[in-house]
Every structure is written in structure tokens, then in C-alpha cells.
Structure 1
Amino acid sequence: MLSILGFLMIAAFMYLIMSKRLSAMIALILVPIVFAAIAGFGTDVGKMMMDGVKSIAQTGIMLIFGILYFGIMIDAGLFDPLVSRTMKAVKGDPVKIVIGTALLALVVSLDGDGSTTYMIVVAAMLPLYKKLQMNPLVLTGVTMLAGGVMNITPWGGPTARAMSALHLDASSLFTPMIPTMAVGALWVILVAYILGRSERKRLGLNEAALSEIELEAIAMQAATTEVLDYKRPRLIWINLGLTIALMVGLITGFMPLTVLFMVAFALALMINYPSLEQQKERISAHAGNALNVAAMVFAAGIFTGILSGTKMVDAMAQTLVAMVPEALGPHLPVITAITSMPFTFFMSNDAYYFGILPLITQAAAAYGIDPAVMGRASLLGQPVHLLSPLVPSTYLLVGLAGVNFGDHQRFTLKWAIGTTLVMLATAIVIGVVHF
């Protein structure tokens, strides 16, 4: 019964947000409450909601200060040279712009933090998309596809969880996946080319128009070009050093992520805008975006809290595992790779890698399948996972780009599934995942 209610809750939630009958934030709060009451957990739902909010609190705080930090960096002009060089390279051609977006996202994603990637890529590329009237869904879609491939790095969340759950090291789990990731990255660039061609055709640009736009694009600056008073070109090296130190801290784990962003924001604000009036003004300028994203994240905490507290997620996992016929046992790696898409879409990475993956791996052991193979297969669904309404950074991406969450899902889903299938085929061919 709990399993059925869990699947119905997910279906109702997806229907309501994709049909635009409810906003994602409202649906995240109200839909699970209704289904928890139907399941008979009415008196316990408050505690479940608080547990969910507490579990996601650090992420919410990190996103608030992350938005404020990179907002200050954008205001100060840190990314202006990057934007300028990127635009000179793409020369106003939608195909080159989308490919440039993909390459930038693939490189920035190496730090393993989706939120940072989204803030940097959107800050650098969105002004150009707006200038040329390109579809911002192309920006969010390509950026997320790149993040889905690079999220498999050992310092990324899913791989760390898989290594911990299956007691594996990076050399056995991640290193054999590098060629698969390389092909995945090439696929993302191919998708960028296809989408860029589509945008060029939609905009009706010919060679003459491109040369005119090229001149405009080269003259284009970052998002805050028109507010020259906030630029701090003399402090660009200090700001770059501070940002590099922040990235190093993220990778090394020198401090908790939340604390790092809080400290970095305080230093950035004090260095660039020492006047109290300027500080208040800059905080106010970015507070709206930070509040919208944080509210969505805490709403997602309510959803996951109820999903876990009612044990619906456990029941759903058992149901899906039981649906695999015994005859398909030898093919569990491929089945795991394919099912990791819906599994990680409907539940958190913690629930999947610590709850479901060990069960499937244990079943696979009866057929002589190496746990490392199962671990690699489980990582291939990450491009689809990032589209989940349970991933906080997704709300940051759509919020920064100003697109609707449901529209982003509909636009990107088929390409995300394609990314997983391309990487799965590559993994089978090179032998790191068995068919």
C-alpha cells in the first residue's frame, strides 16, 4: 500500500508541476502532506517535515550565501574577461554560443559542485542568450547535461556514496569510467551543436546577419555592464584569488561547504564594497533570487522528509527490486544502469546509493557480478537525476536563467536519457559494465 501511495504521490506531483497547475514550491509542500494523511500519518507529519527541513538546511544556507557571493563577483566584474573572450570566440553564432556553453560547463564542472557551475556558466552566458534572443532553455539544458557527466568524478556526491556503500576505492570504481565520461562529454558537445543549429534556424540568421551580430556580441559585457559604478576592475586579481581559494576549499574539504561560502561572501562584500550603504544595496539586489531558491530548497526538504518518514521510499525500492525476474539476473548491471534513471529521479542519492544499490549488488553477487561493475552502472543515471525536483541545485539553475522548472524538465529530459544511454553503450563496449 505504501509503495502504491508513493508512486501515486510522485505521479501527482509531476503532473501538477508539468501541467503548471501548481508551482513546484507549492506542490513540494502540499502534495506530500495530502498523501501522508491518506496513508494514516497525519499526527506524525509535522515531525517528518521538520526532519526533512533539518536534513537539507545546510544545503539551503549554502545556496543562499553562494548566490550572494557570486552575485557580488558578477557585480564587481570578475567574469567580464571570461565573458568577453567567450563572446569573441563564439562571434555571435548560435551554434558556437551553445558549444561554448557546453565546453565552459564541462570545464567548470570539474570542481564537482553543481551550484558553483550553474552560477558561473549562467552569469557568463545568459547576457549573450538574451542579446541574441536565444531560448534560455538551451542554456539550462546544455549546462545540466555537462554537469550530469562530470558529476561522476570521485569528489562528486554520487561516486563518493557508491564507494562508501560498496566499500570500494576510486581506482576500482571511477578510473575505468574515465573513457565513458569522455564519450559522454563528446555527446554533450554534439547535443550542443544540434541545439545550436536549431536556434540558428529558428532565429533565421544568415551570414550577413551573423556578421552584424558578431560586432554587437564582441561589445557585449557581463550582466551588470550597465551598472559601471559597481565594477571593481582594480580588484579583479584579488577577487580571482578569493574565488580560487574558495574552489580549493570546496575540493579539499578544508571547511564545511556552508561555512566556506559564508566566509567568502563576507570577505568579498567587505573588500569590494566597504561602505555600509553599498553593502546593503548589493545584498538587497540579490536577496530576491536567494530567497526564491532557498524557499524551494526547504520545500523540497518537506517532500523528502515525508517520503522517508512514511517509509514510502523503502516500499517503492522493494517493489522495484522485486519486479526484476530471476532470468534477468545475469544482466543486472545493464538493468541497474537503466533503472538508475527513474530511481535517482524519484528519490535522493542517499536513498538510492545507501538503500537500493547494496540490495541490488547483493543480488548480483549470486551471479558472480563484481560489486565494482554494479557501482559503475549505478552512476550512469546521473544526467537524469539532476532533473529531479529533489535536487536543490536545479532550482538555482532555473532561477538564475529565469525559466520555468517544468519547461526545463520537458526540454532536457530526452537529451539526458540520451546521455545515459550513450555512456551505457560505451561502458559495455569497453567492458567496464557487463551486458
Structure 2
Amino acid sequence: MLSIIGLITTAIVVILLMGKRFSPIIALTIIPFLAAIVTGFEMSEIANFYESGITKVMGVAVMFIFAILYFGIMQDVGLFTPLIRKMLQITGSNPVAITCGTVIIAAIAHVDGSGASTFLITIPALLPLYKKMKMNPYLLLLLVGTSASIVNMIPWGGPMGRSAIILEVDPTDLWRPLIPLQFVALLLLLALAFFLGLKEKKRINKLEENIDTEHDDFNQDQLEEKEHHPTAKPIWVNLLLTLAVITMLFWGIIPAGFTFMIGVGLALVLNFPQKKLQMNRLKHQAPNALVMATIILAAGSFLGILNGSGMLDSIATDIVNVLPEAIIPELHLIVGALGVPLELVLSTDATYFALYPIIEQIVTGYGVDATVAIYVMMIGNIIGTFISPFSPALWLALGLSGLEIGKHIRYSFLWIWGFSLALIAAAFLIGIV
């Protein structure tokens, strides 16, 4: 009975998360609550499940709030703008340099972990350049999305936070072993960008059109400025502060949430001398921070009820009895390899909060380390983040560029899936999994 109710609960949550009518918070709170009642648990027991789940994710939620606030403030004061401007100057009118520069610019822009801000920075800045050079704008989406997905392994990125919730660990601890993989992934993506840039260059040459190499109409002024305040300190001051925050994350001597909390306080003091200006900055960045935090807390409640009620254990046990014996120990590898196709049919929340906990429960029973299982599935999935029709940031990118999602998927799908499989292989070679 627990398995049946658990599967029905999971299916309903997945369907609601995939749809457009209900917020993830509704799916992750109301449905498991009703399931626990139907299963026969008393209110006091359900309350204990909830408290257990919330306790496990509270640290992650705090980190998300203050990390998003911190990097939002850094973007507001223009910390990243000079770096992006310089890249635009360097790339010039060479398609190969443009594609490689796109990867670097997107990686820098995504340091705040927000797909929306990444596309807001990169698309308006680079699309005029791609159009003038007759380059395929879908290539721009492919490179920006893939680069952002690689950087998205950072602790304050959505996938890492969700993975940390499943494993009940600190996101920073989970991230550190992945740092070498991120560097390898960026090098692989630069190689792919170089190859695709050469293909674009050959295609453009075949057009036999005179392309004006002057690029005054896509110079520095094309870069969308973030709001820059005259009271903000010079760039080097904020750069030193950011380096100090990142160093503390690497060091791990204090929790990541507290690190960002201190960083936000110092950033406000350094850049905005008046209380009114400080509060305005917080109000400006608060919506992005609170939306992710509320989803994380709701997910904690969801997993707390499914774990505490025994539904996950029951589902895992029954699935083991149904699946062929040879497949079960490798289930995480199969799901990881299918990570990108799954992004087309499951939302990120559905994948991490409904599918992964079940798979993790199953394979750990066969001696597979829980962290290894989550690493494989996350690496396979994360590269497809911005090909998913369930990604709000992708729809923003499509709106900014005037492109179609169907054509984007057709153009990018095989490249992204192949890159995902290559990254899983790299993780094995590095020894991460």
C-alpha cells in the first residue's frame, strides 16, 4: 500500500511540476500532505516528518538566499561588466573567436547561478554580433546554455542545492570534488566551440557575401549595463571581497550560508553608505532569492514526508523485486546517460525531487555509494538544463533572441547529449565517480 500511494504521489507531483498551472510549492506541499493523511498517519506524525525535512534543508535555503543576494549586488555595482566588455573587444569579427568568447562570457555571467541574468547579459550583448557576422543564432543559445550549465555545478546553483538535499550534505562539500570536472568541461566546451566556429566560418564563406569587418554597431555599448550606482566602490574593492568570499567557500571553515551572509553585509556597507540605499538593493534582489528558497523549503517538506512515512523505502524495495537483477545496480548509470532526454519530459524539480531519491535508494542497497549515484545522475542531467521546455530561463532566452524552442532543440539536442555523455566519461577518468 505504501508503494502504491508513494508512486501515485510521485506521479501527481511530477505531472504538476511539468504543467504550467501550479507553482512547485503547491505540488511539493499539498500533495504529499494529502498522501500522508490517506496513508493513515496522524497530524503529529506528519508534523514530525515536516520538521525533519525542513531541518535538513534549512542550511541550503539560507545559502541560496544570501548567495543570490550577494552576486546580484555584485552585478548591480558592475563587477562583471568590464570582464565581459573586454571579451567582446577581443573576439572581434572572427567566428571562431566569437564562439570561444561566447563560452567564456557565459561562464562569467553565470557566476551568480541565475540562468535568467546570464541570458539577460549575454543575449543582448552577443546577438547583434552573431547577426552581423551571419552566424547561426541557435549556436549562440547552444554555447551560452551549455557554458552556464557547467558553471551551474556551483553550490548556489539549483542542481547542486537539490542534490545536497537528497544526500543531506552541505552543497559546498558536494561541490569541491567537481571543481576539476568543471575546468575539464570548460576546456571541452571551448574545443567544441572552436570546431563549431570553424564550421560557421566555412558556411559563411560559402555565402559569398562581403561581410563588413567593422563592428562599431556591436561594440562595448551593446553590452546591457546593470544598474551602477555612483556610491559603489571601485571594481577592485568588490573584486577583492568576492575573491575573499570564494576563498572562504574553498576553505570551508564556516558554513557557506554564513559566508555569503557576511559577504552581503560587507558588500552593502562598502557600496551603499545609506540605510535607504542598502534596503533598496535588498528589495531589488529579494524576489530571485526568495523564490528559490521557498522551493527548497517545500522540497524539504516533500522529501521529509516521503522519507518519514516509509514511502521511498517501500517503492525502492518493490522496484527491486520487479526489475531484472542485472540492471538494478547500474540504474544510476542508465538514468545519468539518459539525463538530457529526461530534461525534455521532466522538469528539474521533478527529476531531482521525485526521480533521483528513488534511484538513490535503490542502488545504495546494492553497495553503490550514494554520492557517486547522485554525481552520475546530476552530471548527466545538468548539461541539458537549458534545452528543457520546463526551464523558465530558456523561455526568456528565446524571447530575447526571437528564436523558436523547436528549432533550438533540433539544433542543440545531439550536441548537448553527446557533451553530457563525454562529461560522464571524464568524471570516471578523473576519479570523481
Structure 2 counterparts to residues 163-182 of structure 1, below 5 A: 182=184
Aligned partners of 1:48 and 1:309 also within 8 Å: yes
CA distance in 1 between partners of 2:253 and 2:148 (Å): 27
Q: Secondary structure at the match of 1:338?
A: helix
* Equivalent pair of 2:95/2:198 in contact (CA under 8 Å): yes
Say whether 1:315 aligns with 2:314. yes
> What is the 5 A alignment of 1:51-200?
51-90=52-91, 100=101, 102-103=103-104, 116=111, 118-119=113-114, 123=117, 126-130=120-124, 132=127, 141-143=145-147, 145-147=149-151, 182=184, 186=188, 190=192
Are the aligned partners of 2:25 and 2:295 in contact in 1 as well (CA < 8 Å)? yes
Aligned counterpart, 1:246:
245
Q: C-alpha displacement at 1:274, in angstroms? A: 1.3
Residue 283 of structure 1 and its aligned partner are, at CA, apart by 1.5
Where does residue 367 of structure 2 map in the other structure?
361
Mark the CA change 1:212 to 1:249 in structure 2 (over 3 Å): closer, same or farther.
Answer: same
Kindly state the Cα deviation for residue 32 of structure 1 after the two structures are TM-superposed.
Answer: 1.8
Matched, 1:337 2:327: no
Contact 1:191 1:415 survives alignment (8 Å): no
Cα separation, partners in 2 of 1:400 and 1:191, compared to 1, 3 Å: same
1:95 touches 1:196 (CA, 8 Å); kept in 2? Answer: yes
Q: For 1:426 and 1:246, how far apart are their aligned partners in 2?
A: 29
- Correspondence for 1:39: 39
* Aligned CA-pair RMSD: 5.2
Match of 1:382 in 2: 378
SS of aligned partner of 1:274: coil
Q: Which residue of 2 aligns with 1:366?
A: none
- 2:119–2:397 CA contact under 8 A, matched in 1: no
Cα offset, 1:28, TM superposition: 1.8
Distance 2:383 2:49 in 1: 24
Question: What is the distance in 2 between the residues matched to 1:378 and 1:325?
Answer: 22
Does structure 2 conserve the Cα–Cα contact (< 8 Å) formed by 1:62 and 1:258?
yes
Q: Quote the sequence identity (%).
A: 26
The equivalent of 2:2 in structure 1 is: 2
Contact 1:3 1:312 in 2 (8 A): yes
| 8 Å CA contact retained: 2:231, 2:272 | no
CA distance in 1 between partners of 2:54 and 2:32 (Å): 14
Measured at CA, do residues 307 and 417 of structure 1 come closer, stay the same or move farther in structure 2, by a change above 3 Å?
A: farther
Mean CA deviation greater in 58-67 or 15-24: 15-24
In structure 2, how many angstroms separate the alpha carbons of the residues matched to 1:35 and 1:99? 50
Q: Residues 124 and 222 of structure 1 are in contact (CA less than 8 Å); yes or no, is this contact kept in structure 2?
A: no
With the length of structure 1 as denominator, give the TM-score of the two structures.
Answer: 0.67
Distance 1:263 1:355 in 2: 36
Distance in 2 (CA, whole Å) between partners of 1:307 and 1:10 is 9
Distance in 1, Cα, partners of 2:418 & 2:237: 41
> Which runs of 5 or more residues in structure 2 are unaligned?
129-136, 340-349, 399-404
State the shift of 1:53 in Å: 1.9
Q: Deviation at 1:242?
A: 0.9
Q: 1:280 to 1:388 in 2, by over 3 A?
A: same
Aligned residues of 1:99 and 1:193 also touching (Cα < 8 A): no
Equivalent in the alignment of 1:220: 222
| Shift of residue 302, structure 1, vs aligned partner | 1.7
Stretch deviating more after TM superposition (288-297 or 77-86): 288-297
Secondary structure at the residue paired with 2:22? coil
Q: CA deviation at 1:286?
A: 1.4
Q: What is the alpha-carbon distance in structure 2 between the residues aligned to residue 192 and residue 46 of structure 1? A: 55
Q: In the alignment, which residue of structure 1 is the partner of 2:344?
A: none
C-alpha contact (below 8 Å) 2:57/2:168 kept by paired residues: no
Instruction: Work out the CA distance in 1 between the residues paired with 2:104 and 2:296.
Output: 28
- In structure 2, distance between residues paired with 1:415 and 1:75: 34
- Tell me the TM-score normalized by structure 2: 0.67
- Which amino acid in the other structure matches residue 81 of structure 2? D
User: How far is 1:240 from its partner?
Assistant: 0.8
Q: How does 1:413-424 map to 2 (within 5 A)?
A: 418-423=418-423
State the Cα distance separating 1:377 from its structure 2 match.
7.0
Deviations 1:406-435, CA, capped at 9 Å, x for gaps: x9xx9699876544433456788x79899x
1:359/1:185 Cα in 2 relative to 1: closer, same or farther (>3 Å)? farther
Change (3 A) 1:295 1:148: closer
Q: Which runs of 5+ in 1 are unaligned?
A: 109-114, 363-370
Counterparts in 2 of 1:46 and 1:143: CA distance versus 1, 3 Å: farther
Supply the AA of the counterpart residue of 1:129. I
- Aligned-pair CA distance for 1:294: 1.9
